[in-house]
Structure 1
Amino acid sequence: MSVEFSVFLIAVAFIGLVVSIIILLRKAMATLDEANKALAEAREAVRDLGSEAGSVLGHANDIAAQVKDKIRAIDAIVNSAQDVGQILHTVTDTARKAVAVLNHTPQAAQPEYVPTNKITIRKTSIDALAKETDRI
């Protein structure tokens, strides 16, 4: 009887081992299913982030192009202002030269008193100024 009882105990132990392995495998399968779901969600999130990042980069490129256009427009305005400044400098320099020429005439040997709030320019100085401006 001891052999039969030993075989019975071995059979019961084997059945217990098989049941334990089946429970363990089911838990492992449930864990793997959850991991697969988490990976699928992560992939979807990465795809969404990738498309959003592409959209953000596209908008950033558009903004950069607009900023570049604005800078070019501002450069044109600054260059125009610089040109106007140079023209004004040339005109005032020419006017100074014209006034200097008028002040060195023989009649101007004895300078007349001219009030500071009144400047007299003769027609010849205007003509000289016009000729000087035409040369520029």
Structure 2
Amino acid sequence: MHRSRVYAVIIDAPIEEAARAAEFWSAALGVPARPLSDQPQFASLRGAVPGLVTAVQAVDDAPGIHIDIESDDPDAETSRLLALGAEQIGRWLECRILRVPGGHVVCVLPVESDPELFDAQATTWP
């Protein structure tokens, strides 16, 4: 058994447009865009989507939006999603990067949120 929950909505912007995208989303959503000191490719949009981390990420890829799923067992969650039709297309640090049916990207990572929040909102999977 393992548990997982949607953790973040990430707006992917090509590197050369990421700063402008962060400014746009900050103004559009009415929240400040703040670079993360430990991960400068991200600009946090804290409070944009209540209960979820929201950020603009500078990527060396096409623009898009992806979802991060946190799990107390990322290997089990990745296996579960692969069985549902996802394909693992990469890995970055502890994050497993999947392409799901329809072409969207989903990242599976270890629990990042407050343990009480995770316990309250996570779904338990067999």
User: What's the TM-score once normalised by structure 1's chain length?
Assistant: 0.17
> Greater CA radius of gyration, 1 or 2?
1
Q: Which has the higher helix share?
A: 1
Give the TM-score normalised by structure 2. 0.18
More relative contact order in 1 or in 2 (CA 8 Å, sep 6+)? 2
Bigger strand fraction: 2
